[in-house]
Amino acid sequence: MTRVLYELAAADPDRRFSPFCWRIRLALEHKGLAFEGRPWRFTQTEALAFSGSDKVPVLVEDGRPIADSSVIAAHLEAAYPDRPSLFGGEGGEALTRFHVAWTDQVLHPALVPLLLLPIHRHLAEADRAYFRRSREARFGKPLEAVCPDEDAQRVTVRRTLSPVRAVLRAQPFLGGQGPLYADYAVMGAFLWAHAVGGPDLLEPDDPVEGWRKRMLGRMGEGSRALTFG
Amino acid sequence: MTRVLYELAAADPDRRFSPFCWRIRLALEHKGLAFEGRPWRFTQTEALAFSGSDKVPVLVEDGRPIADSSVIAAHLEAAYPDRPSLFGGEGGEALTRFHVAWTDQVLHPALVPLLLLPIHRHLAEADRAYFRRSREARFGKPLEAVCPDEDAQRVTVRRTLSPVRAVLRAQPFLGGQGPLYADYAVMGAFLWAHAVGGPDLLEPDDPVEGWRKRMLGRMGEGSRALTFG
Protein backbone atom coordinates (compact mmCIF):
# COMPACT_ATOMS: atom_id res chain seq x y z
CA MET A 1 0.00 0.00 0.00
CA THR A 2 1.16 3.53 -0.70
CA ARG A 3 0.46 5.99 2.10
CA VAL A 4 1.06 9.73 1.78
CA LEU A 5 0.41 12.37 4.44
CA TYR A 6 0.12 15.92 3.16
CA GLU A 7 1.59 18.22 5.81
CA LEU A 8 1.73 21.99 6.11
CA ALA A 9 5.27 23.26 5.49
CA ALA A 10 7.13 26.55 5.75
CA ALA A 11 9.66 27.92 3.24
CA ASP A 12 11.95 25.07 4.30
CA PRO A 13 9.91 22.03 3.22
CA ASP A 14 11.23 20.12 6.24
CA ARG A 15 9.73 22.67 8.64
CA ARG A 16 6.31 21.05 9.25
CA PHE A 17 4.36 23.13 11.71
CA SER A 18 0.62 22.37 11.66
CA PRO A 19 -0.54 21.01 15.03
CA PHE A 20 -3.27 19.02 13.25
CA CYS A 21 -0.78 17.40 10.89
CA TRP A 22 1.46 16.51 13.84
CA ARG A 23 -1.41 14.63 15.48
CA ILE A 24 -1.64 12.36 12.44
CA ARG A 25 2.11 11.95 12.05
CA LEU A 26 2.33 10.80 15.68
CA ALA A 27 -0.76 8.59 15.25
CA LEU A 28 0.80 6.89 12.21
CA GLU A 29 3.99 6.27 14.18
CA HIS A 30 1.90 4.93 17.08
CA LYS A 31 0.26 2.46 14.71
CA GLY A 32 3.62 1.56 13.20
CA LEU A 33 2.41 2.47 9.70
CA ALA A 34 4.99 3.56 7.12
CA PHE A 35 4.17 6.71 5.19
CA GLU A 36 5.64 9.47 3.07
CA GLY A 37 5.11 12.94 4.58
CA ARG A 38 4.66 15.32 1.66
CA PRO A 39 5.12 19.07 2.26
CA TRP A 40 2.23 21.31 1.26
CA ARG A 41 1.85 25.06 1.47
CA PHE A 42 -1.15 27.27 2.24
CA THR A 43 -1.40 28.56 -1.32
CA GLN A 44 -1.07 25.19 -3.09
CA THR A 45 -4.82 24.61 -3.14
CA GLU A 46 -4.78 23.04 -6.58
CA ALA A 47 -2.33 20.36 -5.40
CA LEU A 48 -4.96 19.26 -2.88
CA ALA A 49 -8.04 19.62 -5.11
CA PHE A 50 -8.14 15.86 -5.79
CA SER A 51 -8.96 15.29 -2.11
CA GLY A 52 -12.01 17.54 -1.94
CA SER A 53 -10.34 19.40 0.96
CA ASP A 54 -8.58 22.75 0.96
CA LYS A 55 -6.75 22.03 4.22
CA VAL A 56 -4.23 19.56 5.54
CA PRO A 57 -3.78 17.00 6.96
CA VAL A 58 -4.93 14.80 4.10
CA LEU A 59 -3.98 11.14 4.24
CA VAL A 60 -3.97 9.23 0.97
CA GLU A 61 -3.93 5.45 1.12
CA ASP A 62 -3.67 3.74 -2.27
CA GLY A 63 -5.10 6.83 -3.89
CA ARG A 64 -8.06 7.23 -1.50
CA PRO A 65 -7.90 10.59 0.30
CA ILE A 66 -9.18 11.22 3.84
CA ALA A 67 -9.23 14.76 5.25
CA ASP A 68 -9.60 16.20 8.79
CA SER A 69 -7.36 15.01 11.62
CA SER A 70 -10.17 13.57 13.76
CA VAL A 71 -11.65 11.68 10.80
CA ILE A 72 -8.20 10.35 9.88
CA ALA A 73 -7.54 9.21 13.47
CA ALA A 74 -10.88 7.38 13.62
CA HIS A 75 -10.10 5.77 10.24
CA LEU A 76 -6.69 4.57 11.42
CA GLU A 77 -8.21 3.03 14.54
CA ALA A 78 -10.96 1.26 12.57
CA ALA A 79 -8.76 0.18 9.67
CA TYR A 80 -5.87 -1.14 11.80
CA PRO A 81 -7.51 -2.67 14.87
CA ASP A 82 -4.62 -5.09 15.41
CA ARG A 83 -2.09 -2.29 15.76
CA PRO A 84 -1.70 -0.45 19.11
CA SER A 85 -4.91 1.40 19.89
CA LEU A 86 -5.02 5.20 19.69
CA PHE A 87 -7.88 5.40 22.17
CA GLY A 88 -7.66 2.43 24.53
CA GLY A 89 -11.13 1.17 23.67
CA GLU A 90 -14.54 2.46 22.63
CA GLY A 91 -15.06 4.47 25.81
CA GLY A 92 -11.65 6.00 25.28
CA GLU A 93 -12.49 7.02 21.71
CA ALA A 94 -15.57 8.93 22.88
CA LEU A 95 -13.72 10.44 25.87
CA THR A 96 -10.80 11.61 23.70
CA ARG A 97 -13.12 14.06 21.93
CA PHE A 98 -12.91 16.23 25.04
CA HIS A 99 -9.09 16.35 24.97
CA VAL A 100 -9.26 17.28 21.29
CA ALA A 101 -11.97 19.93 21.80
CA TRP A 102 -10.07 21.42 24.74
CA THR A 103 -6.87 21.58 22.69
CA ASP A 104 -8.64 23.20 19.74
CA GLN A 105 -10.78 25.64 21.70
CA VAL A 106 -8.68 26.49 24.76
CA LEU A 107 -5.01 25.60 24.33
CA HIS A 108 -4.56 26.71 20.71
CA PRO A 109 -6.17 30.13 21.25
CA ALA A 110 -3.86 30.71 24.23
CA LEU A 111 -0.83 29.75 22.18
CA VAL A 112 -1.50 31.32 18.79
CA PRO A 113 -0.71 34.95 19.77
CA LEU A 114 2.84 33.80 20.57
CA LEU A 115 3.23 32.00 17.25
CA LEU A 116 1.83 34.34 14.60
CA LEU A 117 5.06 36.23 14.00
CA PRO A 118 7.33 33.15 14.19
CA ILE A 119 5.07 31.37 11.67
CA HIS A 120 4.98 34.40 9.36
CA ARG A 121 8.76 34.68 9.50
CA HIS A 122 9.25 31.08 8.37
CA LEU A 123 6.61 30.91 5.63
CA ALA A 124 7.37 30.66 1.96
CA GLU A 125 7.20 34.04 0.24
CA ALA A 126 4.06 33.04 -1.66
CA ASP A 127 2.22 32.17 1.58
CA ARG A 128 2.99 35.31 3.57
CA ALA A 129 0.38 37.60 2.08
CA TYR A 130 -2.34 34.94 2.52
CA PHE A 131 -1.32 34.31 6.11
CA ARG A 132 -1.17 37.97 7.06
CA ARG A 133 -4.50 38.78 5.41
CA SER A 134 -6.43 35.82 6.86
CA ARG A 135 -5.03 36.13 10.39
CA GLU A 136 -5.36 39.90 10.55
CA ALA A 137 -9.01 39.50 9.52
CA ARG A 138 -9.49 36.91 12.28
CA PHE A 139 -7.87 39.02 15.02
CA GLY A 140 -8.99 42.40 13.72
CA LYS A 141 -5.51 43.88 14.06
CA PRO A 142 -2.02 43.72 12.54
CA LEU A 143 -0.06 40.54 13.28
CA GLU A 144 2.44 42.68 15.16
CA ALA A 145 -0.29 43.90 17.57
CA VAL A 146 -1.88 40.57 18.54
CA CYS A 147 0.52 39.82 21.40
CA PRO A 148 1.59 43.06 23.07
CA ASP A 149 2.96 41.26 26.16
CA GLU A 150 4.66 37.98 25.38
CA ASP A 151 5.56 37.25 29.01
CA ALA A 152 1.94 37.65 30.12
CA GLN A 153 0.81 35.38 27.30
CA ARG A 154 3.27 32.69 28.35
CA VAL A 155 1.85 32.89 31.86
CA THR A 156 -1.63 32.46 30.33
CA VAL A 157 -0.45 29.36 28.45
CA ARG A 158 1.00 27.86 31.63
CA ARG A 159 -2.17 28.57 33.59
CA THR A 160 -4.27 27.14 30.75
CA LEU A 161 -2.35 23.89 31.07
CA SER A 162 -3.39 23.36 34.71
CA PRO A 163 -5.70 20.37 34.09
CA VAL A 164 -3.05 18.70 31.90
CA ARG A 165 -0.51 19.33 34.65
CA ALA A 166 -2.79 17.75 37.28
CA VAL A 167 -3.15 14.58 35.20
CA LEU A 168 0.59 14.37 34.53
CA ARG A 169 1.28 14.58 38.25
CA ALA A 170 -0.73 11.36 38.61
CA GLN A 171 0.43 9.39 35.56
CA PRO A 172 3.17 9.66 32.91
CA PHE A 173 0.86 10.29 29.92
CA LEU A 174 -2.68 11.55 29.39
CA GLY A 175 -3.38 8.03 28.11
CA GLY A 176 -1.97 6.44 31.29
CA GLN A 177 1.27 4.46 31.23
CA GLY A 178 1.79 5.17 27.54
CA PRO A 179 0.61 7.87 25.12
CA LEU A 180 -2.71 7.73 23.30
CA TYR A 181 -4.23 10.07 20.71
CA ALA A 182 -5.15 12.48 23.53
CA ASP A 183 -1.42 12.95 24.11
CA TYR A 184 -0.86 13.56 20.39
CA ALA A 185 -3.60 16.21 20.30
CA VAL A 186 -1.94 18.20 23.07
CA MET A 187 1.60 17.48 21.83
CA GLY A 188 0.64 18.85 18.42
CA ALA A 189 0.37 22.27 20.03
CA PHE A 190 3.91 22.04 21.43
CA LEU A 191 5.32 20.81 18.12
CA TRP A 192 3.61 23.71 16.37
CA ALA A 193 5.50 26.08 18.67
CA HIS A 194 8.71 24.05 18.44
CA ALA A 195 8.72 23.88 14.65
CA VAL A 196 8.57 27.63 14.17
CA GLY A 197 11.09 28.41 16.91
CA GLY A 198 8.46 29.89 19.21
CA PRO A 199 9.41 31.02 22.71
CA ASP A 200 10.05 28.54 25.51
CA LEU A 201 6.69 27.97 27.14
CA LEU A 202 7.30 25.88 30.23
CA GLU A 203 9.44 26.01 33.33
CA PRO A 204 12.00 23.17 33.51
CA ASP A 205 10.37 21.65 36.63
CA ASP A 206 6.85 21.71 35.17
CA PRO A 207 5.38 18.17 34.91
CA VAL A 208 4.09 19.21 31.49
CA GLU A 209 7.70 19.91 30.43
CA GLY A 210 8.73 16.44 31.65
CA TRP A 211 5.93 14.92 29.57
CA ARG A 212 6.84 17.07 26.53
CA LYS A 213 10.41 15.76 26.68
CA ARG A 214 9.20 12.17 27.03
CA MET A 215 6.97 12.70 24.00
CA LEU A 216 9.85 14.18 21.97
CA GLY A 217 12.05 11.25 22.99
CA ARG A 218 9.54 8.71 21.68
CA MET A 219 9.20 10.26 18.23
CA GLY A 220 10.63 8.48 15.24
CA GLU A 221 13.90 9.85 13.84
CA GLY A 222 12.24 11.09 10.68
CA SER A 223 9.78 13.10 12.70
CA ARG A 224 12.35 14.47 15.08
CA ALA A 225 14.34 15.80 12.13
CA LEU A 226 11.27 17.75 11.00
CA THR A 227 10.78 19.61 14.26
CA PHE A 228 14.28 21.02 14.26
CA GLY A 229 14.27 22.01 10.58
CA MET B 1 -23.60 -6.09 52.12
CA THR B 2 -24.35 -2.75 53.80
CA ARG B 3 -23.33 0.28 51.78
CA VAL B 4 -23.48 3.83 53.14
CA LEU B 5 -22.48 7.01 51.33
CA TYR B 6 -21.81 10.01 53.54
CA GLU B 7 -22.93 13.12 51.67
CA LEU B 8 -22.63 16.80 52.43
CA ALA B 9 -26.01 18.27 53.45
CA ALA B 10 -27.45 21.70 54.15
CA ALA B 11 -29.85 22.59 57.01
CA ASP B 12 -32.44 20.45 55.23
CA PRO B 13 -30.79 17.01 55.37
CA ASP B 14 -32.26 16.19 51.95
CA ARG B 15 -30.45 19.09 50.35
CA ARG B 16 -27.23 17.34 49.24
CA PHE B 17 -25.00 19.79 47.44
CA SER B 18 -21.38 18.59 47.20
CA PRO B 19 -20.33 18.10 43.57
CA PHE B 20 -17.88 15.40 44.67
CA CYS B 21 -20.60 13.48 46.51
CA TRP B 22 -22.87 13.73 43.48
CA ARG B 23 -20.21 12.05 41.34
CA ILE B 24 -20.30 9.02 43.60
CA ARG B 25 -24.08 8.95 43.94
CA LEU B 26 -24.38 8.90 40.13
CA ALA B 27 -21.59 6.31 39.88
CA LEU B 28 -23.38 4.02 42.34
CA GLU B 29 -26.60 4.36 40.33
CA HIS B 30 -24.62 3.66 37.13
CA LYS B 31 -23.33 0.44 38.68
CA GLY B 32 -26.81 -0.45 39.95
CA LEU B 33 -25.54 -0.71 43.54
CA ALA B 34 -28.01 -0.08 46.37
CA PHE B 35 -26.86 2.28 49.10
CA GLU B 36 -28.03 4.49 51.91
CA GLY B 37 -27.09 8.15 51.43
CA ARG B 38 -26.41 9.56 54.90
CA PRO B 39 -26.40 13.35 55.37
CA TRP B 40 -23.26 14.84 56.92
CA ARG B 41 -22.44 18.44 57.74
CA PHE B 42 -19.19 20.40 57.58
CA THR B 43 -18.84 20.61 61.37
CA GLN B 44 -19.61 16.95 62.14
CA THR B 45 -15.96 15.94 61.94
CA GLU B 46 -16.24 13.46 64.82
CA ALA B 47 -18.98 11.53 62.98
CA LEU B 48 -16.46 10.88 60.18
CA ALA B 49 -13.40 10.26 62.37
CA PHE B 50 -13.74 6.45 61.98
CA SER B 51 -12.94 6.84 58.26
CA GLY B 52 -9.64 8.69 58.66
CA SER B 53 -11.04 11.47 56.43
CA ASP B 54 -12.40 14.87 57.41
CA LYS B 55 -14.22 15.32 54.11
CA VAL B 56 -17.01 13.63 52.21
CA PRO B 57 -17.74 11.64 50.14
CA VAL B 58 -16.90 8.62 52.24
CA LEU B 59 -18.28 5.28 51.10
CA VAL B 60 -18.57 2.52 53.71
CA GLU B 61 -19.04 -1.03 52.49
CA ASP B 62 -19.55 -3.59 55.28
CA GLY B 63 -17.79 -1.26 57.68
CA ARG B 64 -14.78 -0.55 55.42
CA PRO B 65 -14.51 3.18 54.65
CA ILE B 66 -13.11 4.63 51.42
CA ALA B 67 -12.62 8.38 51.05
CA ASP B 68 -12.01 10.69 48.04
CA SER B 69 -14.31 10.63 45.04
CA SER B 70 -11.67 9.53 42.53
CA VAL B 71 -10.48 6.73 44.82
CA ILE B 72 -14.07 5.61 45.39
CA ALA B 73 -14.80 5.61 41.63
CA ALA B 74 -11.70 3.51 40.93
CA HIS B 75 -12.72 1.13 43.72
CA LEU B 76 -16.22 0.71 42.30
CA GLU B 77 -14.85 -0.06 38.86
CA ALA B 78 -12.36 -2.62 40.22
CA ALA B 79 -14.74 -4.23 42.73
CA TYR B 80 -17.70 -4.53 40.36
CA PRO B 81 -16.22 -5.33 36.96
CA ASP B 82 -19.37 -7.16 35.81
CA ARG B 83 -21.54 -4.09 36.30
CA PRO B 84 -21.66 -1.34 33.62
CA SER B 85 -18.24 0.28 33.32
CA LEU B 86 -17.68 3.82 34.60
CA PHE B 87 -14.77 4.38 32.23
CA GLY B 88 -15.31 2.24 29.14
CA GLY B 89 -12.04 0.37 29.53
CA GLU B 90 -8.52 0.91 30.81
CA GLY B 91 -7.72 3.67 28.34
CA GLY B 92 -10.93 5.38 29.33
CA GLU B 93 -10.02 5.24 33.03
CA ALA B 94 -6.72 7.03 32.39
CA LEU B 95 -8.33 9.52 29.97
CA THR B 96 -11.12 10.38 32.43
CA ARG B 97 -8.56 11.94 34.78
CA PHE B 98 -8.47 14.91 32.40
CA HIS B 99 -12.24 15.45 32.57
CA VAL B 100 -12.02 15.29 36.37
CA ALA B 101 -9.02 17.63 36.57
CA TRP B 102 -10.68 20.11 34.19
CA THR B 103 -13.87 20.06 36.25
CA ASP B 104 -11.96 20.57 39.52
CA GLN B 105 -9.52 23.19 38.27
CA VAL B 106 -11.45 25.11 35.61
CA LEU B 107 -15.21 24.57 35.84
CA HIS B 108 -15.58 24.66 39.64
CA PRO B 109 -13.57 27.89 40.05
CA ALA B 110 -15.75 29.55 37.39
CA LEU B 111 -18.91 28.41 39.15
CA VAL B 112 -18.11 28.89 42.82
CA PRO B 113 -18.45 32.71 42.92
CA LEU B 114 -22.09 32.25 41.88
CA LEU B 115 -22.75 29.65 44.57
CA LEU B 116 -21.12 30.98 47.75
CA LEU B 117 -24.12 32.98 48.92
CA PRO B 118 -26.73 30.38 47.92
CA ILE B 119 -24.74 27.71 49.79
CA HIS B 120 -24.32 29.92 52.86
CA ARG B 121 -28.05 30.68 52.90
CA HIS B 122 -28.97 26.98 52.95
CA LEU B 123 -26.40 25.75 55.48
CA ALA B 124 -27.26 24.58 58.96
CA GLU B 125 -26.72 27.30 61.54
CA ALA B 126 -23.76 25.44 63.04
CA ASP B 127 -21.98 25.29 59.65
CA ARG B 128 -22.33 28.92 58.63
CA ALA B 129 -19.48 30.40 60.65
CA TYR B 130 -17.10 27.67 59.45
CA PHE B 131 -18.13 28.18 55.83
CA ARG B 132 -17.83 31.97 55.95
CA ARG B 133 -14.46 31.88 57.72
CA SER B 134 -12.88 29.25 55.45
CA ARG B 135 -14.17 30.70 52.17
CA GLU B 136 -13.39 34.31 53.07
CA ALA B 137 -9.83 33.19 53.89
CA ARG B 138 -9.62 31.45 50.50
CA PHE B 139 -10.93 34.41 48.50
CA GLY B 140 -9.45 37.14 50.68
CA LYS B 141 -12.72 39.07 50.82
CA PRO B 142 -16.23 38.89 52.30
CA LEU B 143 -18.54 36.30 50.72
CA GLU B 144 -20.74 39.15 49.55
CA ALA B 145 -17.84 40.68 47.55
CA VAL B 146 -16.65 37.58 45.65
CA CYS B 147 -19.09 37.96 42.75
CA PRO B 148 -19.73 41.63 42.06
CA ASP B 149 -21.25 40.95 38.61
CA GLU B 150 -23.35 37.81 38.46
CA ASP B 151 -24.26 38.21 34.79
CA ALA B 152 -20.62 38.51 33.78
CA GLN B 153 -19.79 35.42 35.83
CA ARG B 154 -22.54 33.44 34.11
CA VAL B 155 -21.04 34.44 30.77
CA THR B 156 -17.67 33.19 32.06
CA VAL B 157 -19.23 29.85 33.00
CA ARG B 158 -20.79 29.48 29.56
CA ARG B 159 -17.52 30.33 27.85
CA THR B 160 -15.65 27.93 30.13
CA LEU B 161 -17.94 25.13 28.94
CA SER B 162 -16.91 25.54 25.28
CA PRO B 163 -14.97 22.24 25.00
CA VAL B 164 -17.84 20.35 26.67
CA ARG B 165 -20.23 22.02 24.23
CA ALA B 166 -18.12 20.98 21.25
CA VAL B 167 -18.17 17.33 22.34
CA LEU B 168 -21.92 17.39 22.99
CA ARG B 169 -22.53 18.72 19.49
CA ALA B 170 -20.91 15.51 18.21
CA GLN B 171 -22.35 12.91 20.61
CA PRO B 172 -25.08 12.76 23.29
CA PHE B 173 -22.75 12.24 26.28
CA LEU B 174 -19.09 12.87 27.09
CA GLY B 175 -18.83 9.08 27.33
CA GLY B 176 -20.37 8.62 23.85
CA GLN B 177 -23.84 7.10 23.40
CA GLY B 178 -24.33 6.80 27.17
CA PRO B 179 -22.87 8.55 30.21
CA LEU B 180 -19.62 7.53 31.86
CA TYR B 181 -17.87 8.84 34.98
CA ALA B 182 -16.63 11.82 32.94
CA ASP B 183 -20.27 12.88 32.58
CA TYR B 184 -20.81 12.48 36.32
CA ALA B 185 -17.78 14.64 37.11
CA VAL B 186 -19.14 17.53 35.04
CA MET B 187 -22.76 16.90 36.08
CA GLY B 188 -21.72 17.14 39.73
CA ALA B 189 -21.01 20.82 39.14
CA PHE B 190 -24.52 21.41 37.79
CA LEU B 191 -26.13 19.47 40.65
CA TRP B 192 -24.12 21.55 43.11
CA ALA B 193 -25.69 24.68 41.59
CA HIS B 194 -29.10 23.06 41.31
CA ALA B 195 -29.22 21.82 44.90
CA VAL B 196 -28.62 25.26 46.41
CA GLY B 197 -30.98 27.06 44.04
CA GLY B 198 -28.17 28.80 42.20
CA PRO B 199 -28.91 30.96 39.16
CA ASP B 200 -29.78 29.45 35.80
CA LEU B 201 -26.49 28.99 34.01
CA LEU B 202 -27.29 27.94 30.47
CA GLU B 203 -29.36 29.19 27.57
CA PRO B 204 -32.24 26.82 26.65
CA ASP B 205 -30.76 26.05 23.22
CA ASP B 206 -27.27 25.29 24.54
CA PRO B 207 -26.25 21.68 23.77
CA VAL B 208 -24.89 21.56 27.33
CA GLU B 209 -28.40 22.34 28.62
CA GLY B 210 -29.83 19.51 26.49
CA TRP B 211 -27.26 17.15 28.02
CA ARG B 212 -27.95 18.44 31.55
CA LYS B 213 -31.63 17.66 31.11
CA ARG B 214 -30.84 14.20 29.73
CA MET B 215 -28.64 13.59 32.75
CA LEU B 216 -31.35 14.77 35.18
CA GLY B 217 -33.87 12.53 33.41
CA ARG B 218 -31.68 9.45 33.92
CA MET B 219 -31.23 9.91 37.66
CA GLY B 220 -32.93 7.55 40.08
CA GLU B 221 -36.02 8.82 41.83
CA GLY B 222 -34.32 8.92 45.20
CA SER B 223 -31.58 11.12 43.78
CA ARG B 224 -33.95 13.40 41.93
CA ALA B 225 -35.81 14.07 45.18
CA LEU B 226 -32.54 15.24 46.75
CA THR B 227 -31.80 17.89 44.14
CA PHE B 228 -35.11 19.62 44.64
CA GLY B 229 -35.03 19.52 48.45
Is residue B229 over pLDDT 60?
A: no
DSSP state string for A17-69: --HHHHHHHHHHHHHT---EEEEE-TT-HHHHGGGT-SSS-EEEETTEEEESH
DSSP state letter for A8: E
Looking only at the bridges linking them, the beta strands covering A36-40 and A64-67 are: unpaired
Residues belonging to chain A with any Cβ–Cβ distance to chain B shorter than 8 Å: 85, 87-99, 101-102, 104-106, 162-164, 166-167, 170-171, 173-177, 180, 182
**Cα separation, B21 vs B56, whole angstroms:** 7
Q: What is the mean pLDDT of residues A134-138?
A: 97
Is residue A209 over pLDDT 70?
A: yes
| Percent of all residues in chain B with a pLDDT value above 70, rounded to a whole number | 99
Interface confidence, given as ipTM, is 0.97
> Contacts of residue A89 in chain B, CB cutoff 8 Å?
88-92
pLDDT of residue A121: 97
Minimal Cβ distance to A163: which of B106, B174, B177 = B106
Is residue A188 over pLDDT 60?
A: yes
Is residue B227 over pLDDT 80?
A: no
pLDDT of residue A226: 82
| Percent of all residues in chain A with a pLDDT value above 90, rounded to a whole number | 94
DSSP state string for A141-154: S-GGGS-S-HHHHH
- Mutate: best of B68, B95, B158, partner A, most A CBs <10 A: B95
pLDDT of residue B228: 63
Give residue B48's Cα distance to chain centre: 19
- Mutate: best of A93, A95, A168, partner B, most B CBs <10 A: A95
pLDDT of residue A228: 63
Residues belonging to chain B with any Cβ–Cβ distance to chain A shorter than 8 Å: 85, 87-99, 101-102, 104-106, 162-164, 166-167, 170-171, 173-177, 180, 182
Minimal Cβ distance to A101: which of B166, B180, B182 = B166
On the 0-12 / 13-18 / 19+ scale of CB atoms within 10 A, A149 is exposed
Is residue B115 over pLDDT 70?
A: yes
Q: What is the mean pLDDT of residues B62-90?
A: 97
> Contacts of residue A211 in chain B, CB cutoff 8 Å?
none
**Under 8 Å between Cβ of B208 and B218:** no
Task: Please judge whether A89 and B93 are an interchain contact, meaning their C-beta atoms are less than 8 angstroms apart.
Answer: no
What residues does each domain of chain A span? 3-79, 90-227
**Cα separation, A174 vs A92, whole angstroms:** 11
Q: What is the mean pLDDT of residues B40-58?
A: 96
Counting one residue from chain A and one from chain B, the pairs whose CB atoms sit within 8 A come to 120
**Cα separation, A29 vs A12, whole angstroms:** 23
Q: Which CATH number fits domain B90-227: 3.30.565.10, 1.20.1050.10, 3.40.50.720, 3.90.1150.10?
A: 1.20.1050.10
Is residue B200 over pLDDT 70?
A: yes
Q: Which pLDDT tens digit goes with each residue over A170-180?
A: 999 999 999 99
The CATH homologous superfamily for domain A3-79 is: Glutaredoxin (3.40.30.10)
Using CA coordinates, name the residue in chain A closest to B173: A94
**Cα separation, A188 vs A227, whole angstroms:** 11
Using CA coordinates, name the residue in chain B closest to A97: B167
